[in-house]
Amino acid sequence: MNATPLFYIIIAIIVIDFIVDKILDALNAKHYNDPIPEKLTDVYDQVEYQKSQDYKTTNYKFGLITSTFSLVLTLVFLGLDGFEFVDTIARSYSDHPIIIALIFFGIIMLGSDLINTPFSYYQTFVIEERFGFNKTTKATFIMDKFKGLLMMALIGGGLLALIVWFYDVTGTHFWLYAWALVAVFSIFTNMFYARLIVPIFNKQTPLEAGDLRDKISAYANSVGFNLDKIFIIDGSKRSTKANAYFSGFGSEKRVTLYDTLVNDLEDEEIVAVLAHEVGHYKKKHIIFNLIASLLLTGLTLFILSIFISNPLLSNALGVDIPSFHVGLIAFGLLYSPISELTGFVMNHFSRKFEYQADDYAKNTYKSEPLVSSLKKLSKNSLSNLTPHPAYVWVHYSHPTLLERVRNLRKN
Ligand SMILES: [Zn+2]
């Protein structure tokens, strides 16, 4: 290999990112055994608390092993000019840039998926199983993998092919066309996510008439929110962990409740969770996130267009023939500190929005049922009640349970 300065910069970025991540993990792990804040002492009893400590420690150790393994593998792959090897294979099948890019990414994606599968298998069938969360059967696990790969091939492959084609036809202006494509695609998936993507993996049924539906309708009417689409999803097919989310907009807007959530919570608590979700919609968080991510994508594509035709990018990965697809990988690695930074800023906004949605639920419904639902959900997923502030700052998209309870109970 003939290493260029850019190669060493890429290695440095990967290693520094790993070290920073491990420091944050270690800081967080040091606080696993902190005394539980007084406001939260009713979340766990002694046995459950011990179980949650074990769960956190097990996941911490497992994360340390997998991330170290993946770091070593990445460094070895880069050191041995792995990308040049894969590029040569792809070029042996075709000389069309789109076909080469598809084969190249196909091999990389399939390879990394094959390597990751034993780890996710262990996570699901050993760790989650041991703590009583896992409901996934082996058949579901295999089908999920298969469907995931197929979707990646069709959607990811389709988008990639179009973007490489834009680059071939329009040169550096490709970024504008790519941006328009990504924008149309993400608005479309946002809108029809529940109709098109969810049914591939789950069964959804409309919430049937009855007490719960009446209570939800009464709340929705009281805030002038037209909510006729409420669905129950069979989350229990995979895990006992519960969730609820909002998707779509306009006539496609709907709320989806996990069946596990409906089982774990009282009606009032479910309405409170729903009020929180309605808050996200009313406070325009969904539109904000969509626009912010479109602007970030545009910016990233624009910066990409400045550098992509520079052969230094491909050469940095030890690939002799410069190409769009190899340049894309090198750019992705070089850009990762910036995307970490934007992710960090987005997390900051997300935590702000969570408070606003909680406030909305408090002001238009009640705060206590939301407090008790958050506590139940934390208990049932064995959440960490004492995360380190630095870890929260970087990684958390939601405020901690303690912060949310404090906010909900303040006058
Ligand atoms: Zn929320």
DSSP string, 79-126: HTTHHHHHHHHHHTT---HHHHHHHHHHHHHHHHHHHHHHHHHHIIII
What is the reported pLDDT for 246? 86
Within-domain flag for 45:
yes
The rounded Å distance from CA 387 to ligand 1 centre is 19
Residue-wise pLDDT tens digits, 94-119: 999 999 999 999 999 999 999 999 99
Query: What pLDDT, on the 0 to 100 scale, is given for residue 379?
Result: 94
The pLDDT value recorded for residue 1 is 54
How many angstroms does the Cα of residue 60 sit away from the middle of ligand 1? 25
Judged against a pLDDT cut of 60, whether residue 284 lies above it is answered with yes
Both tokens of 121, joined, read: 């298998």
Q: What mean pLDDT is predicted for residues 260-277?
A: 95
pLDDT computed for residue 411 by the predictor: 76
Residue type, position 27, single letter = L
Inform me whether the pLDDT recorded for 63 exceeds 90: yes
276 is in an annotated binding site: yes
Domains in the chain: how many in total?
A: 1
CA 245 to centroid of ligand 1, rounded, Å: 8
Q: Separation of 355 CA from ligand 1 center, angstroms?
A: 8
In a 3-state reduction of DSSP, which class is residue 315? helix
pLDDT > 90: percent of the chain: 91
Q: For residues 162 and 157, give the distance between their C-alpha atoms in angstroms, rounded to a whole number.
A: 9
Query: Do the beta carbons of residue 47 and residue 132 sit within 8 Å?
Result: no
Spacing, Cα 280 to ligand 1 middle (Å): 7
**Given strand 204-206, what is the order of strands in its sheet?**
204-206, 230-233, 254-258, 244-247
Reply yes or no on whether the pLDDT at 29 is more than 80: yes
216 falls within a domain: no
Burial of 375 (0-12, 13-18, 19+ CB in 10 A): buried
Please state the rounded mean pLDDT for residues 155-159: 97
Is 38 marked within a binding site? no
Could you tell me if 59 and 127 are in contact, meaning their C-beta atoms sit under 8 angstroms apart?
yes
pLDDT for 286-295, tens place per residue?
889 999 999 9
Q: Which of 46-55, 61-70, 182-191, 236-245 has the highest mean pLDDT?
A: 61-70
**The token pair that represents 12 in the structure block:** 């440095």
Rg (CA), the chain: 23
Q: How confident is the model over 205-215, as a mean pLDDT?
A: 93
| Whole-angstrom distance, CA of residue 175 vs CA of residue 306 | 10
pLDDT recorded at residue 249: 80
38 is catalytic: no
Tell me if residue 277 is catalytic: yes
Domain annotation covers residue 54 = yes
Catalytic residue among 87, 268, 269, 277: 277
Is the Cα torsion angle 200, 120, 341, 322 positive or negative in sign?
A: negative
Catalytic annotation, pick one of 358, 359, 368, 403: 358
Instruction: Tell me the CA–centroid distance for residue 257 and ligand 1, in Å.
Output: 13
pLDDT band for 252, please (50, 70, 90 cuts): confident
Helices (H), 171-222: 174-196, 198-201, 211-222
Helix (H, G, I), strand (E, B) or coil at 323: coil
The 10s digit of each residue's pLDDT in 308-357 is 999 999 999 999 999 999 999 999 999 999 999 999 999 999 999 999 99
Residues 122-144, mean pLDDT to the nearest whole number: 96
In a domain, 226, yes or no: no
Res 248: pLDDT:
85
Whether 104 is in a domain gets the answer yes
pLDDT at 2: 60
Query: What does the pLDDT average to over 121-150?
Result: 96
**Of the spans 33-42, 230-239, 243-252, which averages the highest pLDDT?**
230-239
**Is 354 labelled a binding residue?**
yes
Higher pLDDT, 249 or 68: 68
Q: Is the pLDDT of residue 20 over 90?
A: yes
Residue 296 included in any domain = yes
308 close to 327: Cβ distance less than 8 angstroms: yes
Mean pLDDT of the chain: 95
Round to whole Å and give the CA distance between 100 and 104: 6
* pLDDT confidence band for 251 (50 / 70 / 90): confident
Q: Range of 44's domain?
A: 3-201+283-409
Q: How far apart are CA 128 and CA 231, in angstroms?
A: 26
| Neighbour tally for 272: CB within 10 Å | 26
